[in-house]
Structure 1
Amino acid sequence: MTFLPVIYFPLLWVITIYLKMALKLRRKILVNPCFISHNSSRFIVCLNSNHDTGLFLSKGFGGFQGSDVICRPRFFCPVTCLERLSWEGSSHAVLLTKLEIALKDLKLDEAWETFNDFKRLYGFPNHLLVNRLITQLSYSCSPHWLQKACDLVMIVFKDKSFHLQPDILAKLVLSLARAQMPIPSSMILRLMLEKEILPPMNVLRLVFLHMVKTEVGTCIASNLLVQFCDYYIRFCSGKSHCTNLLKPDTMIFNLVLDACVRFASSLTGQQIIELMSQTGVVADAHSINIIAQIHEMNGQRDELKKFKDHIAFLPVPFVSHYQQFYECLLSLHFKFDDIDAAAELVLDMNRSRESHPIEDPGKDYQKPRFVPIGSHNLRNGLKMQIVPALLQKDSAFKAEGKSDLVFCRDKKLLPTNRALSKFINGYKRHGEINELTKFLLSLKRELCSLGGSSLFSDVIDACISLGWMEIAHDILDDMESSGDPLGSSTYVALLTAYYKSNMSREGNVLLKQMRKAGLVVNLSEKIVMSENVPANVSRSSLCINVSSSICQPSLSESLFQEICEAEKAISPIIYELNSSIYFFSKAKMMGDALKVYRRMEEMKIQPTEHTFAYLVCGYSSLEMYRDITILWGDMKRTMESRNLSVSSDLYEFLLLNFIQGGYFERVMEVIGYMEKRSIYIDKWMYKIEYLKIHKNLYRSLKAWKARTEAQGKRLEHVQAFKKWAGIK
């Protein structure tokens, strides 16, 4: 220990007495010197209290200086023992040692508290310790510690001289996504993107896999994918050093697209589809099925039909996989009320494969094919690369689709009861029962190859159950004319229904017809009336080969349900008009698109969300933001009349366009609508968009300096947005 010169002792004694008195008056704590050191120009006194608090007092050329930076006790471990700082080592070394030990022993509470103590005194410790702390926090299953890790990373990122290892950040991003914390996970990913560092592709896939499990996570994941693709297109498309680093792969696109289907974000899904073509990502068999569902949700039949020729050539082993594709295309034919196209599709689903039932070794099934987006005639139109025969076996992705209209049996695609009910009701509505019979005959031949069918008996029973006796009779007549009459049980079912409905005249005609055909010898009206067969019960028990029928006993119920739903369905003309608007918008022919829109108004046809979405997309592609504001006025009027429901997808697209166009009053209006409906808003994305375009907008202008009232109002809206987005 170093001794002070004698001249310093009186001074030290005075200081000690003064401090004792002061502290005794304020806290009633006795203070005793702990150690004393000096050199030629300075001495330091450390005073410890019996409450384990301490105070440093130093004397230099400039006078006395006091510090209470270590006055408060710190409990670094769960036991109630306190360690005093002593002359044997500085607080810097002690805190570092404590932090290292806590990290080694996996004591997160102690490590976090020690880290904060050190940071308050000396700033960040060395890079190694910070990385170790973030790693330990990342391995925690607690959202509390994961959030702490995220907060720490955000603070560290602000220190330009500090470097965090990419693999540590990747672990944290994955841990946050796995814990269903997509917002902090996306924050770190976006910061990594700014510094041109991203997790490895296998980690990125897992991050998206966990993110898209929730609706909010899907919103964030889709926005992240848009940002990644935008960055790739702008900076990396021609640079080999970052092409493989930043280009998302097919699996990531599939995960996001599938989530868009599950959470009904079809407009966002359409945007992701276009990004696939812009980045050159190849769509595999999974992609095509998901894209088909998105096109069905958007009512884009023409877009989906472009894929059919590329799928039809595939061999039989792919039949079951593309059941979902045919389901969607058939659904769109029904929505457009194109019954003939629907019938042709059902009959053609298996014909094209009969010529090549097995894989042709001379055919290159893995060769990419190109499908245009929009019109074939667009000079600068987008084209998507697809490989319909590509099924990634190592993929954990499995898309779940519906099977309402099409099912697979014995490597053949066949219509369900629901599809048959749509055909029956559709042909009846069009007054083309003879075409229905022709379709059923062709379908029956397909079913006979599978062991027979009671198709006609089930269809006639379904018609009888709804009181459509005339239609059932017409089908019987058409079958006789074709030389393929039905069995006597079907005639008996119709005859019974006639007499029970007091339609004796029609019943007598049918009875004569049966006798002429030799189906009955002695059958009187009295015998028919005694038949205890309810008219609303399926008579498939009278049919042959019932077990092999594709029709289930619920065909009558399916037909009844179809009639009820058809009354509430969207009119086919709306799908036709929306398709025209979509075509013109993609071709950037907004004058023609607007004419179709005005025509809808003249016809008193209520525009749908897709009507407005296609118009907004078209105006956006031409940067006609003012026209979007006019369209927004139409949307608000339609919403106020409760005739329009707007999804989060369209709100987000409007918000983005108004920011790009600088219409901040409209920006705040859209934000208000979204908040009123409790729609999640990805603030970070809009903050980035603002800083990219309007970084210096009104930066130094104050409200009182505004030249006009309009400029003052605009400044007010800009400031309101900046406050909302957290832009300083």
Structure 2
Amino acid sequence: MRSLFQACYHYRRLASFPRAAEAASPANGYEPWRRYISTSTSKVLPWEASSRETLLRKIDSAMKDGNVEEALQSFGNYKKLHGLPEPQLALALARDQMPVPACTVLRIILESGKLPDVDMLILVFLHMLKSQVGSYLVTDVLIDTCESFLDQVADRREMKKLDPIKNSATLFNMVLESCMNFKCIIKAQKIMELMSLVGVVADVNTVVIASRVFEMVGQRDELIQMKRSIDSLRSLPFLQYYQHFYDSLLSLHFKYNDMDAAAKFLINLHQQRKPSVFFCNGLQKQGVIQIGSGNLKTGYRIMFDPGKVDRGFILGTESQFGLVVLTDGNLLHTEKALAKLIVGCVNSRNMHTLSNIFIILHKEDIDVISLPDVVNACIQMGWLHAAHDILDGLESAGIQVGIASYISLLRAYEKENKSEEFNGLLQQIQKIASTVDDIRTNSPFTIKNIAKIVKDEIPLTHSSLFAALAEEMKHYNPGEHLTLEFNNSILFFCKAKMMEDALCTYKRMREQNIRPTSYTFCHILCGYSSMDMHREITMLWGEIKRRLEYGELDVDRDLLDCLILNFLKGGYFSRVMEVIDYMSKHNVFCDKWKYRHVFLKLHRNLYRNLNSLHDKTEAQNKRIEDVRAFRSWAGIR
């Protein structure tokens, strides 16, 4: 709250904004409050001016003296008598890149049970989201807004109170994208759940952002469920948006090391004709974004309109992973995607899948992949057996690749002194010689004569596919899919409130020496939190803290924030101060207003008179010290 009052000293700068410019800046120090704080009535009573002036002077004097408690008390009295700050104060502060006081104004308004104008909220959010701190605060404000108004809705007939928020997909898209950019996975999942509860009809932008969030966490099942809707509902004008969805899904197929699914995805991508908008009884169908299992009561569904996109919300159109590209109205795979498929198949020794995709596309007369380029690139990478397996698979299917690829492989075998493979391939060439157009001779089949016959004196050049394969090999992580699979199982059990199963899965993860990620602990923490298992969270914090100290875990602000909230709810103030100290040492933003608000809501009178307790045990003394430390840090008397 200190920042809110300090912000008042900047009112001269704020005068440059449209709202502030309406009045001239006076000389006295308390005029900003007169300008930005609305009154509950338009009529000024005779005795009101004295009260107003007195309180404004007290606030101003307290701020100059640095007495935050007195300023807060005076401001509280002013709010009771004369009303709340106008949303314009929040907009002015947000424009001035002061997210903390801007957020404080919004929170004060929400505490009164009033919903700020949604258009005004969008403008405030737009400015606040330019900074990382502002993004954290905006996310909390939106969550608090939805939860406070959902609590007020007694029955479905009163849901119309939420119409202003319900009809603004842009408001949620802005915040959800921010969560994705700053990797706030806990908040992102919460925002999507609230979209379902409020009944927001999402748009194409939401599909893109949600797919990126799912990809980030590794929730492939959710993307597969979304694909059923999108395949039949996507429309040509918005293909550049749906491109991101397909990009995320294909990326997860590769991360899960599921080359069969990736190959099937590429085949389906090329088999699809140019899309068109589908209608049902004259109305366009709605798609579904499924969050969590549809079989569990904890699952959520967001409905989206496949023909709706907010042109005022600008979302980056560049592909996130560069695996799918829009060309001439069709979605096609990129060379990077093909390289990932080849690398995955070679490392998992699954060349049948790779050969099969070439065979299917060839039979359907879909010429999008150069088979000689693939074979030659594998040879250049030194994957001679892989190249041989591809040639054998295509030969069995009756597909001619051309003698040049056989010769290139033959030379590679000779160069590496693989005499057995060399002789075997030479005999293979002899068998197919009668069917190959560029061999019509009775000369003995030696490497020298064959080279003369086919005039294959051109050396292999390093193709772009070869460069792509070399690059993918640098980043190939054979164990990544195990981490994703364990995390996905843990997430499922935590959502289903089956914490024993989640912990057993985590134990197996550790036994197999698979390092957990921040998402692993986020899932477990959210599971515990949903069941108010605060004591278990203290033990989880011990595990997290050890891994942070050893550098085995990245600092995750979302995770630390959730820990503090749960420790406050459970009354574990020693742990609260531990996490706060850790955040302070690592320059992680601490939302003091929020933690102070939670404390006052749950523990307002806890050890109110700390000196009146007698005969205290050592544990009680320690707890009192921790409470006193938090009160001091949060600015609570």
Q: After TM superposition, is the score higher than 0.5?
A: yes
Which residue of 2 is the match for residue 561 of structure 1?
471
Which residue of 2 is the match for residue 622 of structure 1?
531
Which residue of 2 is the match for residue 485 of structure 1?
400
Which residue of 2 is the match for residue 217 of structure 1?
134
Quote how far apart the aligned CAs of 1:358 are: 2.8
Distance 1:536 1:719, change over 3 A: farther
Distance 1:665 1:285, change over 3 A: same
Which residue of 2 is the match for residue 385 of structure 1?
302
Is structure 2 residue 119 aligned with structure 1 residue 194? Answer: no
Which residue of 2 is the match for residue 170 of structure 1?
87
Deviation string 1:410-445 (CA, Å, 9 cap, x unpaired) is 222222222112211222222221221111233456
Is structure 2 residue 296 aligned with structure 1 residue 374? Answer: no
Which residue of 1 is the match for residue 313 of structure 2?
396
Distance 1:558 1:597, change over 3 A: same
Which residue of 1 is the match for residue 409 of structure 2?
494
| Contact map agreement 2:52 2:78 (CA 8 A) in 1 | no
Whole-angstrom distance in 1 between the partners of 2:551 and 2:501? 28
Whole-angstrom distance in 2 between the partners of 1:346 and 1:201? 42
Whole-angstrom distance in 2 between the partners of 1:319 and 1:702? 67
Alignment of 1:324-343 (within 5 A): 324-343=244-263
Which residue of 1 is the match for residue 377 of structure 2?
462
Distance 1:372 1:357, change over 3 A: closer
Whole-angstrom distance in 2 between the partners of 1:280 and 1:531? 66
* 447, 466, 469: which one aligns with 1:525: 447
AA aligned opposite 2:298: G
Quote how far apart the aligned CAs of 1:625 are: 0.5
Which residue of 2 is the match for residue 143 of structure 1?
none
AA aligned opposite 1:429: N
Quote how far apart the aligned CAs of 1:304 are: 2.3
* RMSD (Å) for aligned C-alpha atoms: 3.4
Whole-angstrom distance in 2 between the partners of 1:616 and 1:674? 18
Quote how far apart the aligned CAs of 1:324 are: 0.9
Quote how far apart the aligned CAs of 1:634 are: 1.6
| Contact map agreement 1:462 1:556 (CA 8 A) in 2 | yes
AA aligned opposite 2:248: C
Which residue of 2 is the match for residue 654 of structure 1?
563
Which residue of 2 is the match for residue 360 of structure 1?
278
Which residue of 2 is the match for residue 28 of structure 1?
none
AA aligned opposite 1:286: N
Distance 1:200 1:155, change over 3 A: farther
Distance 1:313 1:719, change over 3 A: same
| Contact map agreement 1:258 1:399 (CA 8 A) in 2 | no
Deviation string 1:350-406 (CA, Å, 9 cap, x unpaired) is 54x54x94333435664545554322222x323222224142344333244514211
How many residues align? The count is: 579
User: 317-326 or 510-519, which moves further after superposition?
Assistant: 510-519
Whole-angstrom distance in 2 between the partners of 1:703 and 1:246? 48
Which residue of 2 is the match for residue 422 of structure 1?
340
Which residue of 1 is the match for residue 595 of structure 2?
686
Whole-angstrom distance in 2 between the partners of 1:457 and 1:124? 88
Is structure 2 residue 580 aligned with structure 1 residue 667? Answer: no
| Contact map agreement 1:237 1:243 (CA 8 A) in 2 | no
Unmatched runs of 5 consecutive residues or more in structure 1: 1-102, 131-150, 539-552
| Contact map agreement 2:229 2:288 (CA 8 A) in 1 | no
TM-score (norm 2): 0.82
Quote how far apart the aligned CAs of 1:286 are: 1.0
Distance 1:309 1:386, change over 3 A: same
Quote how far apart the aligned CAs of 1:185 are: 0.8
Identity %: 38
Whole-angstrom distance in 2 between the partners of 1:322 and 1:246? 25
| Contact map agreement 1:283 1:386 (CA 8 A) in 2 | yes
Which residue of 1 is the match for residue 353 of structure 2?
435
Distance 1:694 1:161, change over 3 A: closer
Unmatched runs of 5 consecutive residues or more in structure 2: 1-19, 36-45, 55-69
Distance 1:240 1:387, change over 3 A: closer
Distance 1:604 1:497, change over 3 A: closer
Task: Classify the secondary structure of the residue corresponding to 1:478.
Answer: helix
Is structure 2 residue 210 aligned with structure 1 residue 291? Answer: yes
* 475, 497, 501: which one aligns with 1:588: 497
* 125, 136, 158: which one aligns with 1:208: 125
AA aligned opposite 1:709: E
AA aligned opposite 1:392: V
Which residue of 2 is the match for residue 411 of structure 1?
329
AA aligned opposite 2:340: K
Quote how far apart the aligned CAs of 1:606 are: 2.3
| Contact map agreement 1:333 1:341 (CA 8 A) in 2 | yes
Quote how far apart the aligned CAs of 1:300 are: 1.4
Distance 1:112 1:584, change over 3 A: same
User: 574-583 or 596-605, which moves further after superposition?
Assistant: 596-605
Quote how far apart the aligned CAs of 1:509 are: 4.5
Quote how far apart the aligned CAs of 1:114 are: 8.5
Quote how far apart the aligned CAs of 1:154 are: 10
Quote how far apart the aligned CAs of 1:128 are: 12
Quote how far apart the aligned CAs of 1:222 are: 0.8
Quote how far apart the aligned CAs of 1:533 are: 4.5
Whole-angstrom distance in 2 between the partners of 1:325 and 1:154? 51
| Contact map agreement 2:490 2:523 (CA 8 A) in 1 | yes
Which residue of 2 is the match for residue 635 of structure 1?
544
User: 308-317 or 253-262, which moves further after superposition?
Assistant: 308-317
Whole-angstrom distance in 2 between the partners of 1:396 and 1:675? 35
Distance 1:616 1:165, change over 3 A: closer
AA aligned opposite 2:200: V
Whole-angstrom distance in 1 between the partners of 2:304 and 2:161? 25
Deviation string 1:281-337 (CA, Å, 9 cap, x unpaired) is 222221111111111111111222221111111255144321111111111121111
Which residue of 1 is the match for residue 27 of structure 2?
111
| Contact map agreement 2:377 2:466 (CA 8 A) in 1 | yes
Distance 1:422 1:410, change over 3 A: same
Q: Which has the larger radius of gyration?
A: 1
User: 232-241 or 173-182, which moves further after superposition?
Assistant: 232-241
Task: Classify the secondary structure of the residue corresponding to 1:656.
Answer: helix
| Contact map agreement 2:167 2:201 (CA 8 A) in 1 | no
Deviation string 1:219-277 (CA, Å, 9 cap, x unpaired) is 11111111111211212464468434666831111001111222222332122212222
Task: Classify the secondary structure of the residue corresponding to 1:408.
Answer: strand
| Contact map agreement 1:664 1:714 (CA 8 A) in 2 | yes
* 248, 256, 265: which one aligns with 1:345: 265
Distance 1:311 1:475, change over 3 A: same
Task: Classify the secondary structure of the residue corresponding to 1:413.
Answer: strand
Distance 1:574 1:485, change over 3 A: same
* 276, 282, 306: which one aligns with 2:195: 276
Which residue of 1 is the match for residue 38 of structure 2?
none
Task: Classify the secondary structure of the residue corresponding to 1:717.
Answer: helix
